Amino acid sequence: ASVTNNASASFPVGSTTVTWTVTDVNGRTATATQVVTVTDNQDPTITAPTAVNVNADNGSCAATNVSLGTPATGDNCGVASVTNNASASFPVGSTTVTWTVTDVNGRTATATQVVTVTDNQNPVISNTPSNISVY
């Protein structure tokens, strides 16, 4: 008698049908099927880039063209995308940027990065009144 199956050594995420066959000593056979379901239950990993400190753009109370860097990501099944909610302009002060990694099976993880913009520009006086003389 023998028992065999058509199972592979490893199973991908999702459902796989395995067919089992038993053969008795007289050569008669019977088959049965088994469904093996593999679920990706591991979230991807993400480490945000380090905090960024920049000065405001000249003549502005905000900074543009801020280089945020790139987060470190990983996943057991593969990373599908990495996004962030950063705007094109950061106001003076601290802004938290949230990075999101999504794996190929739709699982997500987030990490945050702080962007701090400093106003390092002196104020400018304009439209000053003319000198006057008082007697």
CB atoms within 10 A of CB 76: 15
CATH architecture of 45-118: Sandwich (2.60)
**Per-domain residue ranges for the chain?**
2-38, 45-118
Contact 15, 35 (CB under 8 A): yes
Q: What is the DSSP string of 101-120?
A: EEETTS-EEEEEEEEEEE--
% residues pLDDT > 90 (the chain): 89
Residue 131 pLDDT exceeds 90? no
The first and second tokens of residue 56, run together, are 């405001």
Distance CA 81, CA 105 (A): 11
Burial class (CB in 10 A: 0-12, 13-18, 19+), 107: middle
What is the tens place of the pLDDT at every residue in 11-65? 999 999 999 999 999 999 999 999 999 999 999 999 999 999 999 999 999 999 9
Share of the chain above pLDDT 70, in %: 100
Going by pLDDT thresholds of 50, 70 and 90, the confidence category of residue 123 is confident
pLDDT at position 40: 95
Q: What is the pLDDT of residues 67-92, one digit of tens each?
A: 999 999 999 999 999 999 999 999 99
Answer yes or no: is pLDDT of 129 > 90.
no
Q: Using the predicted structure, report yes or no on whether residue 130 has a pLDDT greater than 90.
A: no
Question: Could you tell me the pTM of the whole model?
Answer: 0.78
Distance between CA atoms of 67 and 47, rounded to whole angstroms?
Answer: 16
What pLDDT sits at residue 118?
A: 98
